[in-house]
Amino acid sequence: MKKVNFIHLRSKFALLLLVFLLTFSTTLYSQDAPAADVTADAGGDVAAGESLFKANCAACHKLDQKAVGPALRGVGEKFDRDWLYKWIHNSQALIAAGDAQAVKLFEENNKAVMTAFPALSEADIDNILAYTDQPKAAPVAAAGGEATTSTAGEGGGSVSNTLVIGALALIFLLLVIMLFLVTNTLKRIAAANGVVYEEKEKRTPLWKAFVQNQFLVVVFSIFLLLAAGYFAYGYMMQIGVDQGYAPVQPIHYSHRIHAGDNQIDCNFCHSSARKSKHSGIPSLNVCMNCHKNISEVAPETATEEYSKEFYDGEIAKLYKAVGWDPENQEYTGKTEPVKWVRIHNLPDFAYFNHSQHVTVAGIACQTCHGEIQEMEVVEQFAPLTMGWCINCHRETNVNLATNDYYAKIHEELSKKYGIEKVTIAEMGGLECGKCHY
Amino acid sequence: MASNKKYWKSVEELKEDSAIVKALQDNEFVTEIPTDEFLGDKKTLESSSTTRRDFLKYVGFTTAAATLAACEGPVVKSIPYVVQPDEIVPGVANYYASTMADGFDFANVLVKTREGRPIKIERNDLAVNGGGSANARVHASILSLYDKNRLVGPMLDGAAVTWPEFDTAVAQKMNDMAGKDIVLLTQTFASPSTSKLISEFTAKYPNVRHVVYDSVSCSGALDAFQNKYGTRALPDYDFSKAEVIVSVGADFLGDWQGGSYSKGYAQGRIPKNGKMSRHIQFEANLTLTGGKADKRVPATPTQQVQILKALTGGSASGLPANIADAVDKAKAQLQKAGSKALLVTNLPDVASQTLALNFNANSEAIDVNKPLLIRQASNSEVMNVVNGVVSGTVKGLITVGVDPAYSLPNTKEFNEAYQKLEMSLAFAMRLDATASMAKMVAATPHYLESWGDAQIKKGTYSLTQPTIRPLFNTRQFQDCLLQWTGNSQKYYDYLKETWTTSILSGGSWSQALHDGFIASNAEVKMEEVNPTMEGAGVMEEATSNGALSFSMQEGGYDLTLYTSTGLGDGQQANNPWLQEFPDPITRASWDNYLTVSAADAEALDLVNEHVSNGALNGSYVNVKSGNIVIENVPVIIQPGQAKGSVGLALGYGKTAAIQEEMQTGVNAFPLYQNFSNIQKVSIEKASGMHEFACVQLQSTMAGRSEDIIKETTLEIFNTKDKSLWNSIPVTDYDHSPISVRDKKADIWSPFEDTVGHHFNLSIDLNACTGCGACVIACHAENNVPVVGKEEVRKFRDMHWLRIDRYYSAGDTFKEEIETLENLPAFDTYKVVEVPAYENPQVAFQPVMCQHCNHAPCETVCPVAATSHGRQGQNQMAYNRCVGTRYCANNCPYKVRRFNWFLYAENDEFDYNMNNDLGRMVLNPDVNVRSRGVMEKCSLCIQMTQKTILDAKREGRPVKDGEFQTACSNACETGALVFGDVNDKESEVLKLKDNDRMYHLLENVGTKPNVFYQAIIKNTSEA
Q: Say which DSSP state B501 is in.
A: I
The model's confidence at residue A137, banded by pLDDT at 50, 70 and 90, is low
Spatial CA neighbour of B251 closest among B267, B262, B243: B262
- Do B675 and B811 lie in a common domain? no
The model's confidence at residue A23, banded by pLDDT at 50, 70 and 90, is very low
State the number of CA atoms in the 13 A half-sphere of B192 facing the CB: 26
From the CB of residue A400, how many other CB atoms can be counted at a distance below 10 Å? 19
Q: Is the pLDDT of residue A97 over 90?
A: no
Distance from CA of B967 to the nearest CA of A (A): 17
What is the predicted ipTM? 0.84
Spatial CA neighbour of B474 closest among B423, B424, B437, B430: B430
B899, part of any domain: yes
Residues of B in contact with A272 (CB under 8 A): 89-92
What is the span of the domain harbouring residue B243?
234-311+337-372
- Do B766 and B744 lie in a common domain? yes
Contact assignment for A341 to B78 by CB distance below 8 Å: yes
CATH no. for residue A76? Answer: 1.10.760.10
Residues of B in contact with A282 (CB under 8 A): 80
Of A276, A408, A433, the CB nearest to B873: A433
Spatial CA neighbour of B1013 closest among B892, B809, B808, B843: B843
CATH no. for residue B277? Answer: 3.40.50
User: Where are the strands (E) in A279-362, listed by range?
Assistant: 324-325, 330-331, 340-341
* Whole-angstrom distance, CA of residue A322 vs CA of residue B209: 52
- Do B761 and B687 lie in a common domain? no
Report the predicted TM-score, pTM, of the whole model to 2 decimal places: 0.84
pLDDT at B364: 92
Longest pairwise C-alpha distance within chain B: 95
3-state secondary structure of B976: strand
The dihedral over CA atoms of A315, A321, A325, A331, expressed in degrees to the nearest 10, equals: -130
pLDDT at A5: 45
Last residue of a domain, one of B694, B728, B750: B694
pLDDT at A264: 92
Q: Which contacts (CB < 8 Å, 24+ apart) does range B169-178 have?
A: B169/B440, B170/B425, B170/B440, B170/B480, B170/B484, B171/B484, B173/B396, B173/B423, B173/B425, B173/B440, B174/B205, B174/B484, B176/B422, B177/B207, B177/B395, B177/B396, B177/B422, B177/B423, B178/B205, B178/B207
Nearest residue on chain B to A432, alpha-carbon basis: B877
* Whole-angstrom distance, CA of residue A135 vs CA of residue A119: 27
* Pairing relationship of beta strands B736-739 and B730-733 according to DSSP bridges: antiparallel
Residues of A in contact with B938 (CB under 8 A): 433, 437
pLDDT at B1021: 81
From the CB of residue B15, how many other CB atoms can be counted at a distance below 10 Å? 13
Of B73, B754, B880, the CB nearest to A242: B73
Give B541-610 as a 3 state SS string. CCCCCCCCCCCCCCCCEEEEEEEECCCECCCCCCCHHHHHCCCCCCCEECCCCEEECHHHHHHHCCCEEE
Q: What is the mean pLDDT of residues A354-366?
A: 92
The count of structural domains within chain A is: 1
Contact between B693 and B590 under an 8 Å Cβ cutoff? The reply is yes
* Whole-angstrom distance, CA of residue B668 vs CA of residue B406: 10
B635, part of any domain: yes
* Whole-angstrom distance, CA of residue B730 vs CA of residue B745: 9
- Do B738 and B669 lie in a common domain? no
pLDDT at B627: 87
A307, part of any domain: no
Distance from CA of A338 to the nearest CA of B (A): 6
Of A335, A342, A347, the CB nearest to B82: A335
* Whole-angstrom distance, CA of residue B939 vs CA of residue B964: 9
Of A245, A342, A432, the CB nearest to B875: A432
pLDDT at B822: 66
DSSP secondary structure string, B668-685? -GGG-GGG-SEEEEEEEE
Nearest residue on chain A to B73, alpha-carbon basis: A240
Of A278, A335, A433, the CB nearest to B90: A278
Spatial CA neighbour of B285 closest among B592, B37, B542: B592
Distance from CA of A268 to the nearest CA of B (A): 14
- Do B732 and B689 lie in a common domain? no
pLDDT at A69: 79
Spatial CA neighbour of B284 closest among B765, B681, B620: B681
State the number of CA atoms in the 13 A half-sphere of B64 facing the CB: 6
The count of structural domains within chain B is: 3
B36, part of any domain: no
B157, part of any domain: no
* Whole-angstrom distance, CA of residue B251 vs CA of residue B285: 10
Mean pLDDT, chain A, integer:
81
Contact assignment for A322 to B952 by CB distance below 8 Å: no
CATH no. for residue B715? Answer: 3.30.70.20
A111, part of any domain: yes
Nearest 5°: the CA angle A90, A96, A99 is 85
- Do B948 and B804 lie in a common domain? yes
Residues of B in contact with A323 (CB under 8 A): 82
What is the span of the domain harbouring residue A76?
46-133
Spatial CA neighbour of B500 closest among B193, B194, B131: B193
Distance from CA of A342 to the nearest CA of B (A): 5
CATH no. for residue B645? Answer: 2.40.40.20
B485 touches chain A (CB under 8 A): no
Of B73, B877, B926, the CB nearest to A345: B73
- Do B817 and B961 lie in a common domain? yes
Distance from CA of B75 to the nearest CA of A (A): 7
B703 backbone φψ class: left, alpha, beta (φ>0; ψ -120 to 50): left
A70, part of any domain: yes
Distance from CA of A281 to the nearest CA of B (A): 6
**How many residues are there in chain A?**
437
Distance from CA of A259 to the nearest CA of B (A): 20
Q: Extract the residue ranges of chain B whose pLDDT is less than 70.
A: 1-5, 16, 27-41, 70-72, 525-554, 697-705, 810-836
pLDDT at B997: 94
pLDDT at A96: 83
- Do B587 and B704 lie in a common domain? no
Q: Is the pLDDT of residue A2 over 60?
A: no
- Do B875 and B768 lie in a common domain? yes
The dihedral over CA atoms of B574, B575, B580, B581, expressed in degrees to the nearest 10, equals: -130
- Do B903 and B968 lie in a common domain? yes
Contact assignment for B878 to A349 by CB distance below 8 Å: yes
B873, part of any domain: yes
Q: Say which DSSP state B538 is in.
A: P
Contact assignment for B84 to A285 by CB distance below 8 Å: yes
pLDDT at A7: 43
B731, part of any domain: yes
B68 touches chain A (CB under 8 A): no
**How many residues are there in chain B?**
1022
Residues of A in contact with B778 (CB under 8 A): none
pLDDT tens digits, one per residue of B337-374: 989 999 999 998 888 899 999 999 989 999 999 999 99
Compute chain A's Rg from CA coordinates: 35
B530, part of any domain: no
pLDDT at B4: 54
pLDDT at A141: 43
Distance from CA of B879 to the nearest CA of A (A): 7
- Do B672 and B709 lie in a common domain? no
- Do B754 and B668 lie in a common domain? no
B45 touches chain A (CB under 8 A): no
Last residue of a domain, one of B636, B659, B694: B694
- In this predicted model, which residue has the larger pLDDT, A31 or A59? A59
pLDDT at B705: 65
A246, part of any domain: no
B992, part of any domain: yes
Contact assignment for B79 to A282 by CB distance below 8 Å: no
* Whole-angstrom distance, CA of residue B485 vs CA of residue B171: 10
Q: Is the pLDDT of residue A300 over 90?
A: no
Spatial CA neighbour of B542 closest among B354, B378, B361: B354
A80, part of any domain: yes
pLDDT at B812: 52
Strand partners, B868: B874
- In this predicted model, which residue has the larger pLDDT, B510 or A196? B510
Q: Say which DSSP state A405 is in.
A: G
pLDDT at B699: 57
Of B91, B879, B958, the CB nearest to A276: B91
Last residue of a domain, one of B372, B398, B416: B372
Q: Is the pLDDT of residue A263 over 70?
A: yes
B955 touches chain A (CB under 8 A): yes
Q: Is the pLDDT of residue A285 over 80?
A: yes
* Whole-angstrom distance, CA of residue B505 vs CA of residue B875: 52
Residues of A in contact with B876 (CB under 8 A): 432-433
B75 touches chain A (CB under 8 A): yes
